[in-house]
């Protein structure tokens, strides 16, 4: 079940995108979300779509993997699209029932939302497939550094973040193991109504939480045993280096934004 | 009857960049009422086999028969409950599956899931707890207040309370002290005798393989490389070395003696047997010297 989740998993490979600086990738992924909201017409979406597919092909990971990455989120997407479709504020009414009404503008918005969703998921998948979780945490630490001025605990937060990311696969494996153990004792996760299924979660969640606690305590002990102290300046093992390809990627994104703005205002 | 794998292959996460083939065209047979040890190095596919024969995984290719249940790649999740009701699985570190408020309730959990009444489940649970030797003043306590060894016993009782005909043990004594290890393995051996079970044991302890099992399957990188009896397996020193498997201490002892010119009449499976064989030998030698 959990193995199907592609978003959030790292595929080590050697590609242009893999070699990029994690900071550049995080920044550009955020920029991408802002850029996509600048797009308001079909030509713009076409360019965005082609651009995104070009980026995915630069990662040397097959397009099929990205499509699989969209699948688990299909319900979220459908829900949002339907909300857009049925609750459009204005436009020419095409269909009407009780409080639902479908208008031409609503329909168009729904399709826009759908495309936006898919593109954003694909781009976020590019980030997580090509960047190790620890590199993302490092990048976020670096990007949060200005917050040190307002006494925000940047180092602690980034340490928490890297630990959390580090333990995601461990917890997933553990969940799978506990699920198997309880299934072997006759718990049925596949059948039954919603109440029965929610009840079936208790025998998973309690062992999972107790084990996570135990692990956290052990980790804390191990860190203290090696002299970890909060509030002390830290040296780092992995050093992020900004290369020319990162600047280039930023320039390409800038160019994309300019093209899209031109399309929006002049076509 | 029994358990049969016919050209079974299994791939984790097929058709993704993370695809990993754990089993490749595995055919094996585990006879009913045998005590089969499944050995091999980490990553050789032992755990995958266990999960397949309990219907926790579905084969990518091939056919698995467990008594009269057939599992093929087309089998639906919903029909696997029948397989699971016949197979009792003791996972690695089974104490991680405890969750109920009292020890007794946790052991009753399995029987209740498989449709037993409350009375029947409670009777089965008490029986199982007695079997694993957990003192009854602990039965109403929270399982999380027990020691590691006691938690292990509760978890094993939770599986035994299902009264499985096939008992699957995945390194059941890992992390226990020698005394606890011996007690638990003896308990399984008695149960095997008394209830005519089919036991499948995954272990790295060659001593246990020699002592308790009567059938061995050796796995290597997703394939079965040998099916034999423990004594034949451990007699073949060269083959063991080739596959980097350890030789049990008693066998090592016999081999050392052989190097020094003393040969025993049979191979022992445990220390007591070794002692008996040695006594025999001494007696024979003594008689011969007396005759001279």
CB contacts of B145 in chain A (<8 Å) are none
Would you call B162 and A61 a contact, using CB atoms and an 8 Å cutoff? no
Give the count of Cβ contacts less than 8 A between chain A and B.
71
E strand or H helix that includes residue B22: strand B20-30
Q: How many domains does chain A have?
A: 2
Are A186 and B113 inside 8 Å of each other by CB?
A: yes
Please state, in angstroms and rounded to a whole number, the distance separating the CA atoms of residues B219 and A81.
51
Q: How far apart are CA B122 and CA B135, in angstroms?
A: 16
ipTM above 0.90, yes or no: no
CA-based nearest residue to B189, from B269, B122, B108: B269
**Which residues in chain A are closer than 8 Å to B162, comparing Cβ atoms?**
185-186
If one compares B210 and A196, the residue with the highest pLDDT of the two is: B210
Residue A233 belongs to some domain of the structure: no
> Which structure tokens are listed for B53?
């024969």
Task: Give the C-alpha separation, B76 to B58, whole Å.
Answer: 9
If you measure CA to CA, which chain A residue comes closest to B86? A184
A198-202, B2-6, B125-129: range with lowest mean pLDDT = A198-202
DSSP-derived letter for residue B283 is: H
A212 lies in some domain: yes
Domain span holding position A257: 2-131+241-266
The DSSP-derived string for B66-84 is ETTEEE-TT--GGGGHHHH
Nearest CA in chain A to B54: A184
**pLDDT, average across residues B165-183:** 92
Subunit contact A185:B18, Cβ cutoff 8 A: no
For residue A65, the model assigns a pLDDT of 83
A76 and A123: one domain?
A: yes
Say yes or no for a CB contact (<8 Å) between B110 and A68.
no
How much is the pLDDT for A6? Answer: 54
Location of structure tokens 């993370």 = B18
Least CB-CB distance to B113: which of A6, A9, A185?
Answer: A185
Find the chain B residues whose C-beta atoms sit closer than 8 A to any C-beta of A. Answer: 12-13, 15-18, 51, 54, 56, 77-78, 81, 84-85, 87-89, 91, 94, 96-99, 109-110, 112-114, 144, 158-159, 162
- What's the CA gap between B58 and B52, in Å, rounded? 6
- Rounded mean pLDDT, B190-194: 92
Instruction: Answer with the residue of higher pLDDT: A42 or B35.
Output: B35
Which candidate, B195, B193, B156, places its Cα nearest to that of B176? B156
Q: Average pLDDT of B179-201?
A: 93
CA torsion angle B277 B279 B281 B283 (round to 10): -150
Six-digit token string for B17: 């960049």
Q: How near does any CA of chain B get to the CA of A22, in Å? A: 22
What is the pLDDT of chain B when averaged over all its residues?
90
Residues of chain A with Cβ-Cβ distance to B144 below 8 Å are 210
Under CATH, which number does the domain B3-236 receive?
3.40.50.300
From its phi and psi, is residue B63 left (phi > 0), alpha (psi between -120 and 50) or beta? beta
Give the chain B residue whose CA is nearest to the CA of A174: B96
Do A250 and A204 fall within a single domain?
no
- Residue A7: per-residue pLDDT: 53
pLDDT at B148 over 60: yes
Are the C-beta atoms of residues B43 and B56 closer than 8 Å to each other?
no
How would you write the pLDDT of chain A (267 residues) with one tens digit per residue?
344 455 567 888 889 999 999 999 999 999 999 999 888 888 889 999 999 999 999 998 888 888 888 888 888 888 888 888 777 667 677 777 776 777 778 888 888 889 998 999 999 989 988 998 888 888 988 898 898 889 888 888 888 888 888 888 888 889 989 999 998 898 887 777 788 888 888 999 999 999 999 999 999 999 999 988 877 777 778 788 899 999 999 999 999 999 998 888 887
Does some domain include residue A235?
no
| Mutation target among A63, A184, A213 for the B interface, most CBs of B within 10 A | A184
First-residue to last-residue Cα distance in chain B: 57
Is B89 in Cβ contact with A186 (below 8 Å)?
Answer: no
Arithmetic mean of pLDDT, B220-235: 92
CA distance A76 to A51: 24
Select the residue from A10, A182, A185, A188 to test the B interface by mutation, using most B Cβ atoms within 10 A: A185
Considering the domain architecture, whether residues A43 and A102 belong to the same structural domain is answered as: yes
One domain for residues A29 and A151: no
Residues A217 and A110 reside in one and the same domain: no
A45 and A151: one domain? Answer: no
With respect to residue A24, please indicate whether it lies within any of the assigned structural domains: yes
**Is residue A160 domain-shared with residue A187, that is, in the same domain?**
yes
Q: Indicate yes or no: CB of A186 within 8 angstroms of CB of B162.
A: yes
Note whether residue A103 is domain-resident. Answer: yes
Enumerate residues 6+ apart whose C-beta is below 8 A from B145.
none
Residues of chain B with CATH 3.40.50.300: 3-236
Which residue spans within chain A are E strands per DSSP?
93-97, 100-103
Instruction: Clarify whether residues A66 and A90 are in a common domain.
Output: yes
Q: Is residue A80 assigned to a domain? A: yes
Q: Does residue A230 form part of some domain? A: no
Instruction: Check whether residue A127 and residue A252 sit in a common domain.
Output: yes
Q: Which of B147-161, B220-234, B269-283 has the lowest mean pLDDT?
A: B269-283
Residue scoring higher pLDDT (B242 or B18): B242
Cross-chain residue pair B84–A186, CB shorter than 8 Å: yes
Mark yes or no for CB contact A185/B159 under 8 Å: yes
pLDDT recorded at residue A203: 92
Same domain, A173 and A249: no
Dihedral of CA A8/A11/A14/A16: which sign? negative
Residue A121 lies in a domain: yes
**Claim to verify: residue A57 and residue A93 sit in the same structural domain:** yes
Q: Are residues A213 and A155 in the same domain?
A: yes
Specify the pLDDT at position B150: 92
Among B78, B96, B158, beta carbon nearest to A185: B158
Q: How far is it, in rounded angstroms, from Cα B76 to Cα B97?
A: 25
């Amino acid at each position: 079940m959990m193995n199907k989740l592609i978003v959030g998993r790292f595929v080590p490979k050697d590609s242009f995108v893999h070699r990029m600086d994690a900071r550049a990738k995080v920044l550009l992924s955020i920029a991408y979300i802002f850029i996509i909201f600048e797009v308001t017409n079909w030509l713009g979406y076409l360019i965005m779509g082609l651009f995104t597919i070009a980026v995915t092909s630069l990662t040397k990971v097959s397009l099929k993997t990205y499509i699989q990455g969209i699948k688990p989120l299909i319900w979220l997407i459908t829900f949002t699209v339907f909300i857009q479709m049925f609750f459009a504020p204005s436009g020419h009414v095409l269909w009407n029932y009780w409080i639902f009404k479908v208008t031409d503008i609503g329909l168009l918005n729904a399709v826009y939302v759908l495309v936006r969703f898919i593109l954003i998921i694909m781009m976020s998948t590019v980030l997580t497939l090509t960047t190790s979780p620890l590199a993302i945490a490092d990048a976020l630490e670096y990007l949060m550094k200005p917050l040190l001025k307002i006494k925000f605990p940047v180092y602690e937060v980034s340490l928490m973040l890297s630990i959390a990311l580090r333990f995601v696969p461990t917890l997933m494996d553990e969940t799978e193991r506990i699920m198997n153990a309880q299934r072997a004792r006759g718990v049925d996760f596949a059948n039954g109504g919603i109440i029965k299924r929610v009840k079936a979660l208790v025998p998973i969640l309690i062992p999972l939480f107790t084990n996570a606690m135990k692990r956290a305590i052990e980790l804390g002990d191990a860190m203290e045993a090696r002299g970890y102290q909060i509030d002390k300046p830290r040296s780092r093992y992995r050093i992020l280096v900004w290369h020319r390809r990162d600047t280039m990627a930023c320039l390409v994104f800038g160019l994309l934004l300019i093209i899209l703005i031109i399309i929006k205002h002049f076509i | 009857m029994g358990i049969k794998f016919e050209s079974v292959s299994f791939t984790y996460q097929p058709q993704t960049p993370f695809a990993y083939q754990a089993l490749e065209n595995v055919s094996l047979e585990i006879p009913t009422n045998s005590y089969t040890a499944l050995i091999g190095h980490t990553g050789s596919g032992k755990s995958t086999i266990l999960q397949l024969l309990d219907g926790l995984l579905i084969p990518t290719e091939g056919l698995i028969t467990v008594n009269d249940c057939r599992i093929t790649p087309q089998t639906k999740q919903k029909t696997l409950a029948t397989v699971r009701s016949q197979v009792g699985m003791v996972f690695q570190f089974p104490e991680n599956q405890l969750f109920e408020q009292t020890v007794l309730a946790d052991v009753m959990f399995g029987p209740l899931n498989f449709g037993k009444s409350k009375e029947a489940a409670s009777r089965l649970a008490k029986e199982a707890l007695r079997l694993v030797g957990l003192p009854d003043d602990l039965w109403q306590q929270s399982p999380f207040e027990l020691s590691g060894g006691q938690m292990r016993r509760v978890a094993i009782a939770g599986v035994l309370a299902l009264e499985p005909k096939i008992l699957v043990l995945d390194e059941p004594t890992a992390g226990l002290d020698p005394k606890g290890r011996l007690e638990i393995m003896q308990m399984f051996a008695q149960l095997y005798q008394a209830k005519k079970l089919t036991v499948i044991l995954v272990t790295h302890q060659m001593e246990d393989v020699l002592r308790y099992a009567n059938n061995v399957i050796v796995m290597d990188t997703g394939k079965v490389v040998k099916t034999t009896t423990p004594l034949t397996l451990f007699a073949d020193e060269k083959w063991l070395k080739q596959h980097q498997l350890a030789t049990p201490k008693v066998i090592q002892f016999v081999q050392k003696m052989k190097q020094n010119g003393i040969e025993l009449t049979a191979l022992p499976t445990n220390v007591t047997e070794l002692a008996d064989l040695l006594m025999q030998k001494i007696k024979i030698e003594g008689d011969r010297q007396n005759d001279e």
